[in-house]
Structure 1
Amino acid sequence: MVLQLEGVSLKREGSWIINDVNWAINSGEHWALLGLNGAGKTALLYMMCAYYFPTSGQLTVLNRRFGRDELGESLRKKIGLVSSTLKERLYDSDNAYQIVLSGAFASIGLYNTPTDEMREKAQSLLKELGCFGYANRRYETLSQGEKQRVLIARALMADPELLILDEPTNGLDFIAREQLLEAVEIISRKAEAPTIIYVTHHVEEILPVFTHTLLLKQGKVYKSGETKDIIAKNVLDSFFEIPIELNWYNNRPWIRKQTNT
């Protein structure tokens, strides 16, 4: 069991952000977490990484139960997190190679001397994710898509058991988005791949590798299960509260608002 939430709720500043969430992820599964803005997706992720603690319910991440086992940095080192918050904290003056290397130490900035093994691994990840050509460029000069791929490489440096990608295509153009999704698919198909939770509010980003999907609405689980059962017209009509048209291309779902003709 990679993740288990049993009746988990979260209250922040007097408001319930997460309400009675039940969710289980087994080893070998990759999940898409789909919800509109304000659904509570980021708050749920912050709980998984032990930045927030549940107000009620039981949460277990990578066999560590909140309230019973040691959490904090020891847990976060087993989780690779790519988020907009992290992207803003990195140093613009560091180059892409340095940023990836810093992932081995879970640090913002590179203060320790990397081993030869770490250097080889960072170079391998940069090549694998199509970043090697700009490894020596300063972070601030990279495009949004280039930055995101560097962050994913950084997250993989510590061999995480769980990789969380929090809306990684935000701000990307069509080409950069598809390049990033290709990189995610490559990672997911590796024999030693971590469990991936891919967070989005775009249905078309649910790749075939995401065999399971959870729909989150107003802090509650609307529906969860195998993607083929969740990404269905009748479910999404109700979830979005508008009639939609659903089509599949290359095993990816695409939707638009249904038009009356």
Structure 2
Amino acid sequence: MIIEMENVSFIREDRVILDRIHWKVQENEQWVILGLNGSGKTSLLNIVLGYEYPSKGEVSVLGHRFGKTNLPELRKHIGFVSSTFERFQPTLESETVEEVVVSGKFASIGLYEPVTDEDQEQAEQWMDLFRIGHLKGKAYRTLSQGEKRKVLLARALMAKPKLLILDEPTVGLDMLTREELLALIKDVIATKICHVLYVTHYVEEIIEEMTHVLLLKDGKIVAAGPKEKLLTDDYLSETFQMVLHVRWEHNRPWISIKNIPTLQRLGK
């Protein structure tokens, strides 16, 4: 079992952020989490990563049950890419591309441990795989947004993780760069390097290789299961709180808005 949550709730300052979550991710499943801002996606990820502890319920990640495992050690088996890495910009901007990539082996932002020749060679292999080998020696701060995301993806795979979490990795990217990044994610899944957990607001980013979806609304699961069964007008309309229509093109779902909520209906 990759992830198992039984009756998990997360409460902060008397506010229920996650409410009785039951969720299992099994071998050979690639999951997408969908939901509006405030639906509980970030809190769910923080629990999976061991940065937050559930208020109630049982959690197991990669066979490690919370309360009986070393969470910092567990995180070394989880790769993580997020647009929120911008908060580490001062550290990242002081490093070269290969230094950022190598740091992924140690699950750290910045290098604080000795780097071997083998580490350097492995970093260069990942850079070549993601078509950023030509960036070797360049300062991270000089890269485009698309190049930075590819570097962070290579960094996340340095430790050969069993689980790769991609938290809105395409935020701020143009359409072409987004599709290039999605193509790299396709390659990662195809090679069966690790399991992927992908978080997004955009249904059209659900590539063919993704197998399952978790729909969240107000801290509760709307539905969880195979994407073909759940990416429907009814489920997505409930999740995103507007009337939506889903169509499939090239094995990817695309949505159109059939009824846009007015300010009056939203209570503004």
Aligned match of 1:183: 184
C-alpha distance in 2, partners of 1:139/1:87?
Answer: 12
The Cα offsets for residues 104-158 of structure 1, whole Å up to 9 and x where unpaired, read as 1222222333222222211111111122122222111112211111111101000
The answer for the alignment partner of 2:63 in structure 1 is: 63
1:2-41 deviation digits (Å, cap 9, x = unpaired): 1000110001232111110110001111101111111110
Cα distance change on mapping 1:113 and 1:21 into 2, 3 Å? same
Aligned to 2:122: 121
Distance in structure 1 (CA, Å) of the matches to 2:131 and 2:256: 31
Letter in 2 for 1:80: G
Aligned residue type for 1:120:
E
Aligned residues with identical type, % of pairs: 43
1:122-161 correspondence runs (5 A): 122-161=123-162
Q: Which runs of 4+ in 1 moved over 4 A?
A: none
Determine whether 1:88 maps to 2:87: yes
Deviation at 1:73, TM superposition (A): 1.0
Distance in 1, matches of 2:112 and 2:242, equals 52
- The whole-number CA distance in structure 2 between the counterparts of 1:184 and 1:8 is 29
Q: How far is 1:259 from its partner?
A: 6.5
Amino acid at match of 2:173: L
Instruction: Note the alpha carbon deviations across 1:61-111, whole angstroms, 9 max, x for none.
Output: 1111112x1232111101111123334314202111110011112222223
- 2:216 touches 2:239 (CA, 8 Å); kept in 1? no
Contact persistence 1:50–1:71 (CA under 8 A): no
Partner of 2:201: 201
RMSD: 1.5
Distance apart, 1:233 and its partner CA: 1.9
Amino acid at match of 2:157: L
- Matching residue of 1:223: 223
Question: CA separation in 2, counterparts of 1:130 and 1:258?
Answer: 40
Alignment-mate amino acid for residue 77 of structure 2: K
Cα contact 1:101–1:118 (8 A) shared by 2: yes
Q: Letter of the aligned partner of 1:18 in structure 2?
A: L
Task: Give unpaired runs (5+ residues) of structure 2.
Answer: 261-268
Deviations 1:181-218 (A, max 9, x none): 11111101103x21110000100011111110110111
Aligned counterparts, 1:234-245, within 5 A? 234-245=234-245
Amino acid at match of 2:254: W
Say whether the 8 Å CA contact 1:8–1:57 is kept in structure 2.
Answer: yes
Tell me how far apart the structure 1 counterparts of residues 13 and 96 of structure 2 sit (CA, whole Å).
38
Corresponding residue of 1:246 = 246
Pair 195,41 (structure 1): closer, same or farther in 2 beyond 3 Å: same
1:234 and 1:10 map into 2 onto residues whose CA distance is: 27
Unpaired runs of 5+ in structure 1?
none
TM-score by length of 1: 0.94
CA-to-aligned-CA distance 1:203-261 (integer Å, 9 cap, x gap): 0011111110110111111101000001112322333332222221211111111279x
Distance in 1 (alpha carbons) for counterparts of 2:239 and 2:113: 48
1:98 aligns with 2:99: yes
- Report which stretch shifted further, 132-141 or 32-41: 132-141
- CA–CA distance in 2 between the matches of 1:240 and 1:110? 41
Distance 1:17 1:136 in 2: 43
Q: What amino acid maps onto 1:179 in structure 2?
A: E
